[in-house]
Amino acid sequence: MPRPYIYYPAWDGKAASPLILKVAELCQKRWPDTKNIGTYVNRDMRGKPGQKSVHATGYALDLQYKGEDQARAIWDYFLANSEVLGLQELHWYAYGDFGAGYRCSRGEGKKGVKIFTKDDNAGSYEGNPSWLHLEIDKAITPEEWETRFRATKPA
């Protein structure tokens, strides 16, 4: 049974959470060419006035990668470990022609992935940016997430 998606509606968390900062730190250690290019920002979603971005909660991370091979490795890792890592959502904006997105409410791993189209792309089509967007379950402590991350291996 799919897990519920917990970040709708989003809210202003006032700061980046210790959890998402730990996620960024550990991702940058495992994949050294990556870079944290955004966590907390109190803003609305693109094209949806009045609806907060999950970045406003402090539980979202934009992780810049270097090259498609690295993006694929990170994407595959998070999908293979979606439940144990508490992955809520993952977007690969430059996947294929219009991007792809995972959401826990659609199922674990590849079952939760939606391949985007020109008309249905979660705002990912513009410019095909070279970053992945991750959202992690706020119920997990940074310490527990680190334990889970270290116990799982790249796919």
For 104-123, write each residue's pLDDT tens digit. Answer: 999 999 999 999 998 887 66
Per-residue model confidence (pLDDT) at position 47: 82
Task: Single out the residue of 153, 143, 152, 142 nearest to residue 61, CA to CA.
Answer: 142
pTM for the model stands at 0.94
Name the more confident of 97 and 81: 81
Q: Is the pLDDT of residue 127 over 70?
A: no
SS3 129: coil
* Whether the Cβ atoms of residue 52 and residue 44 lie closer than 8 Å to each other: yes
Residues recorded for the chain: 155
Q: Is the pLDDT of residue 125 over 60?
A: no
Residue 129 has pLDDT above 90, yes or no: no
Domain ranges of the chain: 18-151
Does pLDDT of 126 surpass 70? no
Predicted local confidence at residue 131, as pLDDT: 94
> Of 103, 33, 102, whose CA–CA distance to 68 is shortest?
33
Q: Which two structure tokens, joined as six digits, stand for 48?
A: 């949806």
pLDDT band of residue 1 (cuts 50, 70, 90) is confident
Predicted local distance difference test score (pLDDT) of residue 121: 77
The side-by-side arrangement of strands in the sheet containing 100-103 is: 35-38, 60-64, 131-136, 87-92, 100-103, 113-115
What are 60-89's pLDDT values in tens digits? 999 999 999 999 999 999 999 999 999 999
Q: Are 140 and 88 contacting, i.e. CB atoms less than 8 angstroms apart?
A: no
Locus of tokens 């996620």: 23
Q: Map residue 90 onto helix, strand or coil.
A: strand
> Looking at the predicted structure, is the pLDDT value of residue 97 above 90?
no
Residue 46 phi, psi (nearest 5): -60, 130
pLDDT of residue 65: 97
